[in-house]
């Protein structure tokens, strides 16, 4: 694949993001991270991925290992990827928040505001053609960020739908909102819904 100037610096940019998050003492989650010997969870996968999965925040397993989606939700994500013959190492997986919130609570608005610029830098560096959001928080952030706020609705209404937009790095960027894989742990019917929605992703990979 032909690289551009930013592409040539992709590794350097992603390392810079990692270092910035590691030293983010301004975050209210920094002390919680260091007190518990947790790692920041930056992201994992191909740095030239065409498909990027974006979740909400790391859980305990993720914070203990520094790897996104490595617990129960991660196993489900792997199964979903396998259902469309997609290898985990060929995509990029990350979250809006790079540090674990206490007790796995929902991200707070001020935390999203603090960590979101790191996510956007990742998106700019990787230049995905498709972004699949996992859960309502990442859905809301990404759709607003890319000018789709007028299309925003409850995830129950728009999951699996395709929204076309554009950006400086991807003139034909596709955004597909999905339920968070963890939701299917508590509601087994959502596993079938996710499997169906992944068939939508298959058309774009």
CATH 3.40.470.10 correct for 7-202: yes
Query: How confident is the model over 119-136, as pLDDT tens digits?
Result: 999 999 999 999 999 999
Structure tokens at 88: 């985990």
Backbone angles phi, psi at 164, to 5 degrees: -100, 135
Under DSSP, is residue 45 helix (H, G, I), strand (E, B) or coil?
strand
What pTM did the predictor assign? 0.93
Under the banding of pLDDT at 50, 70 and 90, the label for residue 3 is: very low
Bridge-partner residues for 175, per DSSP? 131, 163
Instruction: Check whether 90 has a pLDDT greater than 90.
Output: yes
The pLDDT value recorded for residue 2 is: 41
Task: Decide: helix, strand or coil at residue 173.
Answer: strand
Residue 149 has pLDDT above 50, yes or no: yes
From residue 180, give the alpha-carbon distance in Å to each of 82, 133, 193, 197: 17, 8, 11, 12
Structural domain spans, the chain: 7-202
**Cα–Cα distance for residue pair 45/25, rounded to 1 Å:** 26
């Amino acid at each position: 694949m032909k690289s551009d100037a930013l592409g040539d610096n992709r590794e350097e940019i992603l390392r810079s993001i990692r270092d910035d998050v590691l030293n983010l003492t301004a975050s209210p989650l920094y002390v919680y991270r260091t007190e518990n010997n947790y790692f920041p969870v930056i992201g994992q996968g191909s740095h030239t991925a065409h498909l990027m999965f974006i979740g909400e925040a790391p859980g305990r397993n993720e914070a203990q290992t520094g790897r996104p989606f490595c617990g129960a939700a991660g196993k489900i994500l792997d199964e979903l990827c396998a259902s469309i013959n997609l290898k985990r190492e060929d995509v990029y997986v990350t979250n809006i928040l790079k540090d674990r919130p206490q007790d796995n609570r929902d991200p707070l608005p001020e935390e999203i505001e603090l960590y979101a610029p790191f996510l956007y830098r990742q998106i700019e560096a990787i230049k995905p053609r498709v972004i699949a959001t996992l859960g309502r928080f990442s859905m809301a952030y990404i759709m607003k960020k890319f000018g789709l706020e007028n299309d925003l609705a409850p995830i129950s209404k728009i999951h699996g739908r395709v929204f076309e937009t554009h950006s400086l790095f991807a003139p034909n960027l596709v955004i597909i909102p999905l339920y968070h894989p963890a939701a299917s742990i508590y509601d087994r019917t959502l596993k079938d819904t996710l499997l169906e929605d992944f068939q939508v992703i298959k058309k774009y990979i």
